[in-house]
Amino acid sequence: MKTVGIIAEYNPFHNGHAYQIRMAKELTGAAFCVVAMSGDFVQRGAPAVFDKYTRTRMALSAGADLVLEIPPVFATGSAEDFASCGVALLDRLGIVDTLCFGSECGRLEPMKAVAGILLQEPEAYRKELTQGLKDGLTFPQARQKALEAYLSGDSLSELPPGSGLSGLLSSPNNILGIEYCKALLRRRSRMEPVTILRKGSGYHDTQLREEPSAAAIRKILLTPSDQNGSGIRPHFTALSQSVPAPVLSLIRDAYPLHAEDFSALLAQRLLTLQLTERPLTDFYDVPDDLAARIGKRTLEFAGFADRCAALKTRQYTYTRVSRALIHIMLDMTAQDAAARKAHDFISYVRVLGFRREAAPLLSAIQEQAPNAREKAAPLPLITRTADAASILDGSSLAEFRRDLYCSHIYQAVLAAGSGRRIANEYTTGLIVM
């Protein structure tokens, strides 16, 4: 029962994602595709445009066989933490043979070579990285400069000719691909990496082209429509050629959320923390200087995007700031993140949905999990929220409840924005298609 794994956000699902699933199965000969997916908040530091259950249905309707949730604290983390958690989740299942990801490079060896350097951190590389940070570069900029310097000599032969080092280190999907490779190497995982050349528009391209990016589709979804006075609704005709037909049907019935929908909630959270004098550095990935900037601007009331724009600097990009604010808003603490990392990122598997013909995957996970990785404890499967209290132990149950809190925040905002009654984590059933 050969199985391929994919780490994704599907924010939202489009034709490019369907192509990846199809090609992943074809290239690896896999019978099944397991997806580790971000929940209601995503890696760029924002709410997902559609809730996790809607996006699970999208994935299952277009070729995925089993969808599992990446815990929110790492789904909203840096590229390294996002990749590390996703790889840990798939690896510890014990049934995934290959990890497939898209890349602008389309070639595995350059990414594996860079991943090896990042993992080993040779002294010359570390010196260049430290100097770049001292010079005021952001960490991604300093890392790219250090890698370029380190690979400028004989070490450049580690990369195939014409791999385009600068493009390799600056393209979003390549960066994630390198992090996936690094995580696999660090874990000495049995999973083999496979990459597929990314087709269509660039990751950040917001123009709706023949093969658009998720960013372009989000722009359509979140732009008010003159044809519908009831609020933000998508222009379905524009999307009809960009997403699979079953996904388009799901979009018609769903209500999209924007970061701006969380503006008041964020302001209230910052005011409460100011009132109680709680340090912002308590929260995941919020260093002293950024915490100070956020604290000084607490009373500068603005929408979510404007607040991020006012806080960003050369050192802290818009996305970096946005992630920090999400972590503060959702009470994602540095202590919780560190504890999870110390226990290999994952303490349980949250199943969001599966296709009926893929039901044997769940049995296989339960049977093979104890042997998935040496010294790794079996991962309990959570298919019903109400069962968690009887399945998980103290620390794992506390982590699960923190994760539920994030989803309940999203659902509360979704209910307020859509004017609909929204099911919570206890009343939403497992999706079976």
CA distance 351 to 36: 10
Q: Please name which of 12, 3, 1, 2 lies closest in space to residue 37, comparing C-alpha atoms.
A: 12
Q: Are 45 and 52 in contact (CB under 8 A)?
A: no
CA distances, 153 to each of 159, 311, 345 (Å): 11, 39, 37
Q: Which residues of 309-345 are buried (b: 16+ CB within 10 A; e: fewer)?
A: eebbeeebbeebbbbbbbbbbbbbbeebbeebbeebb
Indicate if the pLDDT at residue 371 is higher than 50.
no
Residue that wins the pLDDT comparison between 372 and 114: 114
Angle at 23 (CA atoms; ends 20, 28), nearest 5 degrees: 120
Pairing of strands 349-354, 98-103: unpaired
- Residues 79, 180: contact at Cβ < 8 Å? no
Instruction: Give the end-to-end CA distance of the chain in Å, rounded to a whole number.
Output: 20
Q: Which of 118, 117, 186, 177 is nearest to 344 (CA)?
A: 186
Question: Over 50: is that where the pLDDT of 372 sits?
Answer: no
Give pLDDT tens digits for 320-332.
999 999 999 999 9
> 101-105, 192-196, 318-322: which has the minimum mean pLDDT?
101-105
In the chain, CATH 3.40.50.620 sits at 1-104+171-203+211-224+246-252+347-433
Alpha-carbon distance of 130 to 428, in angstroms, equals 48
- Considering only 49-58, 69-78, 203-212, 415-424, which range has the smallest mean pLDDT? 203-212
Task: Please determine, looking at this structure, whether the domain spanning 1-104+171-203+211-224+246-252+347-433 carries the CATH number 3.40.50.620.
Answer: yes
Higher pLDDT, 408 or 223: 408
Least trusted range by pLDDT, from 70-74, 131-135, 211-215: 211-215
Q: What is the pLDDT of residue 409?
A: 98
Better pLDDT: 40 or 205:
40
Spatial separation of the C-alpha atoms in residues 420 and 257, rounded to whole Å: 13
**Is residue 156 very low, low, confident or very high in pLDDT (cuts 50, 70, 90)?**
very low
Query: Model pTM?
Result: 0.91
pLDDT of residue 227: 46
Higher pLDDT, 377 or 380: 380
Q: Contact 330/41 with Cβ under 8 angstroms?
A: yes
pLDDT reported for residue 241: 86
Among the residue ranges 226-230, 238-242, 375-379, the one predicted with the least confidence is 226-230
How high is the mean pLDDT of the chain? 89
Angstrom distance (rounded) from CA 397 to CA 137 = 40
Give the mean pLDDT of 340-355: 96
Answer yes or no: is pLDDT of 304 > 60: yes
Asked whether the predicted pLDDT for residue 90 surpasses 90, the reply is yes
- Residue 260: how many CA atoms within 13 Å on its side-chain side? 8
- pLDDT above 60: residue 373: no
- Identify whether 12 is preceded by a cis peptide bond (ω within 30 of 0): yes
pLDDT recorded at residue 184: 98
